[in-house]
A = this chain, B = another copy of it.
Amino acid sequence: MARIALDVMGTDRGPAEIVAGAIMAAGAGNELVLVGDREVIEPELTATGADLDVVHAPDVVGMGEDPARAVRDKPRSSIMVAARLVASGDADALVSAGSTGAAMTAASIVIGRLEGIQRPAIATPIPRATGIPTLVLDAGANLEVKPAHLVRFAVMGALVAEIVYGIDRPRVGLLNIGEEPSKGREVERSAFGLLEEAPVNFVGNIEGGDIPGDVADVVVTDGFTGNVVLKTMEGTAGLVLALVSDAFGRRPGGIPGEMLRVVEEVRMLIDPELCAGGAYLLGTRSGVVIGHGSSSRNAVFNAVGLAAEGVKGGLSERMERGLARS
């Protein structure tokens, strides 16, 4: 069974929420090692009668700290201790909802990168009406990319779609400003040709409006565009739901309870945190899942599930072989 090292520290809601998610995940059959301040974690476990492994780490990397420096200066921080558990084989994958930069740095240094990967990429699952998310990568780790990077993103993303979401021959789209191969910047025009030759099911250029649709299962782009797009989607979805609620609220008699429930249903369907709980950090030797800093227990539960699915499907091993072939 997959054994997941969970970094309990450095999140917005505090360790109790992360431990609560861990207990849910353990209840669903996951094997976990909680990494963090034993003095804080153990009372939470005792209170609920849960019996999970704990590995003590006295230090924490805060959200505001410079990741490279913090990771170097705090070898006993929870993220570094958790990464070492994975590197040594005491755990199979890492989940952290703390500083994304610290998790990326710790994973790169301690767990190591796959051959040909200079810097891991972040693959974020986006809710779709079909119920199966689209993966967008890179979502912010590599702000500027070369055409060959986009090919690696395609290979890695397609493996996640296949192994974790059970999609057969996942469709890979290149995010662009039009369908024709001649569209876009030099990087997109060059990547188009490379993706046609790559061992993926490349469906061509897709536009921003296609991301939430059923056009591609994996969308590759640079980390700047990816990050902006993800935040734009979140903001737009929030605005539209607020407008719908407001419009109901202005009706005589106010907003009917049933309509409120419908809006809430949709809000939960499209909440990226509830959809997946975290984003994959791809290109490291073992699985790494990064949760949002404000992750709830449900998000932690889902993030652990993502990490476990990856281990079960041999994601890292298959990715190493896939990258070697591409």
Residues of A within 8 A of B (CB): 128-129, 140, 143-144, 175, 177, 184-185, 207-213, 221, 223-225, 227-244, 246-248, 251, 258-259, 262-263, 265-266, 269-270
Contacts and interface: CB of A to CB of B under 8 A. Distances in A.
A266 B243 contact: yes
A129 B207 contact: no
Nearest to A140: B177
A263 B236 contact: no
A232 B235 contact: no
A228 B231 contact: no
A262 B247 contact: yes
Given A177-B231, A185-B224, A208-B231, 4 more contacts: A228-B228, A229-B232, A232-B233, A244-B266
A208 B233 CA distance: 8
B177 A228 contact: yes
A210 B228 CA distance: 10
* Number of copies of chain A assembled together: 2
A251 B256 CA distance: 14
Contact of A213 (B223, B235, B241): B235
A217 to B, nearest CB: 16
Contact of A244 (B207, B244, B258): B244
Contact of A236 (B207, B221, B236, B244): B236
A248 B262 CA distance: 7
B213 A239 contact: yes
A211 B234 CA distance: 11
Nearest to A212: B239
Contact of A243 (B184, B248, B269): B269
A257 to B, nearest CB: 12
